[in-house]
Amino acid sequence: MENINWLQEVESRKEDLFKDLFRLLKIDSVRDDAAATEETPVGPGPKAALDEFLKMAQEDGFQTQAFGPWAGRVEIGAGDELMGILGHVDVVPAGSGWDTDPFEPQIINDRIYARGSSDDKGPTVGAYFALKLLRELGHTFNKRVHLIVGTDEESGWQCMDYYFKHAEMPDFGFSPDAEFPIINGEKGNVSAAIDTKDSQVLEGDLKLIEFKSGLRPNMVPESASAVLEVLKGDIDFQADFDQFLAENDLKGDLSVDGKQVSITVVGKSAHGSTPHKGVNGATQLGRFLSQYRFDDQAAENFVQVLSHELFEGFDGSKVGVSHHHDVMGDVSMNIGIANYDAEKGGHIDVNFRYPEGTEPDTMLGQMEKALGHYASLQVSMGHHKDPHYVPADDPLVETLLDVYHKQTGFEAHEQSIGGGTYGRLMPRGVAYGALFPDSIDVMHQANEFLAVEDLLRATAIYAEAIYRLTK
Res 234: pLDDT: 87
- pLDDT band of 276, cuts 50, 70, 90: very high
Distance CA 229, CA 243 (A): 21
Buried b (16+ CB within 10 A) or exposed e, 431-461: bbbbbbeebeebbbbbebbbbbebbbbbbbb
pLDDT at 418: 83
- The whole-model pTM stands at 0.75
118, 455 Cβ separation under 8 angstroms: no
Q: Is the pLDDT of residue 203 over 90?
A: no
Across the range 359-375, mean pLDDT stands at: 95
- Active-site option among 9, 90, 296, 448: 90
Q: Which of 28, 153, 154, 296 is catalytic?
A: 153
Average pLDDT over residues 438-442: 93
| pLDDT higher than 90, residue 202 | no
Residue 153 designated active-site? yes
Nearest Cα to 63, choosing from 172, 169, 146?
146
Q: List, in order of start, the domains of the chain with CATH numbers.
A: 6-185+388-470 (3.40.630.10), 189-385 (3.30.70.360)
The CA distance from 169 to 50, in Å, is 20
How is the beta sheet containing 71-76 ordered, strand by strand? 63-67, 71-76, 144-150, 82-88, 172-175, 429-431
The DSSP code for 425 is G
Burial label, 287 (beta-carbon count in 10 A; 0-12, 13-18, 19+):
buried
Whether the pLDDT of residue 198 is over 80: the answer is no
Q: What is the mean pLDDT of the chain?
A: 96
The one-letter code for the residue type at 413 is H
Q: Taking Cα atoms as reference points, which of 392, 49, 372 lies closest to residue 40?
A: 49
Chain-centre distance for alpha carbon 24: 19
pLDDT at residue 320 is higher than 80: yes
Average pLDDT over residues 120-140: 98
Inform me whether the pLDDT recorded for 60 exceeds 90. yes
Evaluate if residue 444 carries a pLDDT over 90.
no
